[in-house]
Amino acid sequence: MVDKETVWLTERYPREVEIPGNGTAQFLLMTAAYAKEVHGFSTSLPPEDLLYLRDDISEPKVVNEWVRNINRGETITVLARLEGPLAGFASLHRTRSRWTRG
């Protein structure tokens, strides 16, 4: 069963936004189809930039686990392209556990 949040997101992505002076940015939801591209993007980053990330996404097994988390609904990731190549991403990590008993 697909949850409300997933439906809400898939109705809104992909989308394009015109960035004055910089062309068009495309935002899309990450799926397994983008795993190799995300890994390639990560290997283009300087090592010091990778230090600020939650996980070492330069490791293919980490990207594969990331995709599994997306498929389980634990992570939502939006990828950004600027005139073609991947330019960045943002993730929201969700958990189904509660901080109180309910």
Q: What is the pLDDT of residues 26-62, one digit of tens each?
A: 999 999 999 999 999 999 999 999 998 888 999 999 9
Query: Where is 94: in which H helix or E strand?
Result: none
Range of the domain at 88: 32-95
Best CA proximity match to 60, nearest among 31, 75, 86, 40: 40
Q: Please tell me which residue, 27 or 101, carries the higher pLDDT value.
A: 27
**Band of pLDDT at residue 11, cut at 50, 70 and 90:** confident
| Residue 2 domain flag | no
pLDDT at 83 over 90: no
Amino acid 8: pLDDT = 83
What is the number of structural domains in the chain?
1
Amino acid 7: pLDDT = 80
Tell whether pTM > 0.95: no
| Residue 90 domain flag | yes
